[in-house]
């Protein structure tokens, strides 16, 4: 296990963690959450040995193999498949050793090296890498393409595949779903559910955390707090804790007020001076309980549209795509005020093409796009972040849009997106991805649109901001068309699902859970069930060791099962004997009343014992069956 004991972690002058302790148990799947800047990535760097603690101790088992998902985007002409296989450094070293041994014609060494390669399943590495890339959405052609040809988001996917390829006991993933669509997010969920090692991941996708993790580490007020259960359980537990904390705080504040009033009233009186001094000492000793900050730092809403049309926008027999590559055909779609639509479909199916056509960024190749007289579009895409002026402040961005607005009104507005104080005046060049995404959303809200076209708006947003966006969208008076892999956002903001698939756009008959089941059935039909098994496959030597361990567990189980069967047989004989004696009519004569009561009591006791032993036998039989099934895998 990994043990952090009274650690203090500092970045520059800022203390991220102060005298906090936590334990990461083997096999646990843990989500690390907290506000942006709280220290999540720094804690990752500490575990990777890139940072050291200011105080305290960190213990990591020396035998644990660690793998992590790199955040930097590499530029290399190495093929995507080879780049992913490179994640298994032990494999690559063995391959290099084999190549040298072949050159030297060192046959004895070569035989040992090939045996070592077999023991780490080296011969299946290309197949396992292919399965990882397929699961993450790479086509067969793309797997042979050089890494340098992929965009930043797809290179992050390659980093993820490379981390999964690396044999590991402890896997650290930082925002693994940020550049995934819903299909690949579901695939990753199943992969991690099957991963036999320990997982620590940073994520702002609450459904993903709910489906993968069984423990939450929350960084709050420079402390690392542990909560058992998934994110939904964390929300409930933290809410209860904060409510209790707030009650304690309010009670304490009342007591402090009473003390201060007493001191102010009686300090000058000689008869009361000693009591006043006693209360001052009590005040000094009292551990101040911080007030619970239950409210999110984000609190915004969409302005009511100034003018509106009905319909706002319609597509009629529209062909969408590019001049040399039509992607969607015969699209019929009408958006009314209040429309709430999510676009579902695999990556590359045409969701973004459709939303670009609705936005007017792509002209229809056929059919019509008819805009309402008062159509006002708020369009969010990841490209909007690149369009921000990095030399301008958040305030200047708004001033350019509305020169007549007062500075105070703009600063008040930006404060609701947590751009407060100097941050509203700082140039955004050094803003994080999440801060730029918040600013892009703030600009959209400021423009008072009546149609929101949102393409993955939650990428880079933390959980608190995602919650605020969900609440704001629920009250938006216009229309919404949403593309997102955040199932919680979709589930709580839309009421119509459109499936973009095979060049067509059609209503999806069912809810989001139905769509999830549909996706999973497609994956099974494609034979990807085996590809969801973890890349760091259990090696044959490990399999033999685990097989031996299972057989060792089987022996006492079989013995206990046999003993339970023997006890059941003895109890059956005893029950039959009592029931035979109860079948004798003479036992019911008045003179045998005490003997009858004794027999009835004995019968009841024996049946209870028989039932208890049978339950034990069933449990043992189930354990035995499970272990024997594991032995045959």
Mean pLDDT value across the chain? 83
- Among 511, 533, 383, residue whose Cα is nearest residue 455: 383
Q: Residue 547: is its pLDDT beyond 60?
A: no
Model pLDDT for residues 111-122, shown as the tens digit of each residue: 888 888 888 888
User: In 17-106, where does DSSP find H-type helix?
Assistant: 40-47, 80-85, 89-104
Contact, 84 vs 154, CB < 8 A? no
For residues 512 and 492, what is the distance between their CA atoms, to the nearest angstrom? Answer: 11
Cα distances (Å, whole numbers) of residue 378 to 354, 455, 458, 478: 15, 11, 15, 10
Model pLDDT for residues 55-86, shown as the tens digit of each residue: 999 999 988 999 999 887 778 889 999 999 99
Model pLDDT for residues 98-140, shown as the tens digit of each residue: 888 888 888 788 888 888 888 888 888 899 999 999 999 898 8
Q: Which two tokens stand for residue 229?
A: 């259960």
Model pLDDT for residues 551-589, shown as the tens digit of each residue: 666 667 777 777 887 888 888 888 888 888 877 778 777
For residues 520 and 97, what is the distance between their CA atoms, to the nearest angstrom? Answer: 41
Q: Residue 628: is its pLDDT beyond 80?
A: no
Model pLDDT for residues 340-363, shown as the tens digit of each residue: 999 998 888 899 999 999 999 999
Confidence at 159, pLDDT banded by 50, 70, 90: very high
Task: Spell out a b/e string for 198-208, using b for 16 or more CB atoms within 10 Å of the CB, else e.
Answer: bbbbbbbbbbb
pLDDT at position 524 is: 67
Q: Residue 317: is its pLDDT beyond 90?
A: yes
pLDDT at position 268 is: 59
For residues 49 and 61, what is the distance between their CA atoms, to the nearest angstrom? Answer: 13
For residues 619 and 608, what is the distance between their CA atoms, to the nearest angstrom? Answer: 17
Cα distances (Å, whole numbers) of residue 541 to 8, 118, 315: 40, 10, 60
Q: Which two tokens stand for residue 32?
A: 């690390």
Q: Residue 24: is its pLDDT beyond 50?
A: yes
- Give every CB contact of residue 454 below 8 A, 6+ residues apart in sequence: 380, 480, 481, 482, 483, 484
Three-state SS for 576-601 is HHHHHHHCCHHHHCHHHHHHHHHHHH
pLDDT at position 365 is: 93
Model pLDDT for residues 525-534, shown as the tens digit of each residue: 665 444 444 4
Name residue, tokens 């090939």: 114
- Among 537, 631, 532, 530, residue whose Cα is nearest residue 120: 537
pTM: 0.68
For residues 359 and 345, what is the distance between their CA atoms, to the nearest angstrom? Answer: 19
């Amino acid at each position: 296990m990994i043990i952090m004991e009274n650690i203090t972690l500092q970045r520059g002058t800022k203390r991220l963690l102060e005298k906090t302790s936590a334990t990461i148990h083997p096999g646990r799947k843990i989500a690390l959450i907290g506000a942006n800047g709280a220290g999540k990535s720094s804690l990752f760097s500490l575990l990777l040995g890139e940072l050291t603690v200011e105080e305290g101790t960190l213990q990591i088992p020396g035998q644990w193999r660690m793998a992590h998902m790199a955040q930097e985007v590499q530029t290399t002409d190495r093929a995507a498949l080879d780049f992913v296989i490179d994640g298994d450094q032990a494999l690559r070293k063995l391959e290099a050793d084999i190549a040298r041994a072949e050159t030297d014609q060192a046959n004895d060494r070569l035989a040992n090296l090939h045996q070592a390669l077999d023991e780490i399943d080296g011969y299946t590495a290309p197949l396992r890498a292919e399965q990882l890339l397929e699961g993450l959405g790479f086509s067969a052609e793309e797997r042979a393409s050089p890494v340098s040809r992929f965009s930043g988001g797809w290179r992050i996917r390659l980093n993820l595949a490379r981390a999964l390829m690396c044999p590991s006991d402890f896997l650290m993933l930082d925002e693994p779903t940020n550049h995934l669509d819903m299909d690949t997010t579901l695939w990753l969920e199943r992969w991690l559910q099957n991963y036999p090692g320990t997982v620590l991941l940073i994520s702002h996708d609450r459904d993903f955390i709910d489906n993968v993790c069984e423990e939450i580490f929350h960084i709050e007020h420079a402390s690392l707090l542990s909560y058992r259960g998934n994110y939904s359980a964390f929300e409930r537990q933290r809410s209860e804790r904060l409510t209790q904390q707030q009650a304690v705080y309010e009670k304490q504040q009342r007591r402090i007020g009473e003390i201060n009033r007493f001191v102010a009233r009686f300090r000058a009186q000689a008869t009361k001076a000693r009591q006043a001094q006693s209360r001052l000492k009590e005040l000094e000793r009292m551990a101040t309980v911080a007030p619970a900050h239950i409210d999110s730092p984000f609190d915004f809403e969409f302005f009511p549209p100034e003018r509106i049309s009905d319909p706002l926008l319609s597509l009629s027999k529209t062909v969408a795509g590019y001049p040399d590559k039509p992607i969607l055909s015969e699209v019929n779609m009408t958006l009314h005020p209040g429309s709430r639509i999510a676009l579902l479909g695999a990556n590359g199916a045409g969701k973004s093409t459709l939303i670009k056509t609705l936005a007017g960024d792509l002209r229809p190749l056929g059919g019509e796009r008819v805009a309402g007289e008062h159509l006002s579009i708020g369009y969010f895409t990841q490209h909007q972040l690149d369009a921000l002026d990095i030399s301008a402040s958040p305030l200047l961005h708004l001033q350019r849009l509305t020169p007549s607005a007062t500075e105070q009104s703009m600063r008040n507005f930006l404060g609701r997106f947590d751009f407060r104080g100097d941050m509203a005046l700082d140039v955004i060049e050094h803003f994080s991805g999440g801060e730029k995404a918040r600013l892009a959303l703030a600009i959209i809200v400021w423009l008072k649109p009546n149609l929101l076209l949102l393409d993955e708006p939650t990428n880079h947003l933390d959980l608190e901001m995602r919650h605020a966006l969900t609440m704001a969208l629920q009250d938006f008076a216009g229309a919404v068309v949403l593309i997102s892999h955040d199932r919680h956002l979709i589930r709580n903001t839309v009421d119509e699902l459109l499936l973009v698939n095979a060049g067509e756009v059609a209503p999806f008959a069912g809810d989001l859970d139905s769509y999830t089941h549909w996706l999973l059935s497609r994956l099974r039909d494609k034979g990807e069930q085996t590809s969801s098994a973890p890349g760091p496959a259990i090696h044959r030597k490990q399999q033999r060791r685990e097989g031996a361990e299972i057989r060792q567990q089987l022996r006492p189980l079989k013995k206990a099962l046999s003993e339970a069967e023997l006890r059941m047989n003895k109890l059956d004989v005893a029950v039959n004997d009592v029931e035979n004696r109860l079948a004798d009519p003479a036992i019911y004569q008045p003179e045998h009343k005490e003997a009858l009561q004794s027999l009835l009591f004995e019968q009841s006791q024996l049946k209870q014992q028989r039932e208890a032993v049978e339950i034990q036998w069933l449990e043992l039989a189930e354990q035995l069956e499970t272990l024997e099934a594991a032995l045959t895998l």
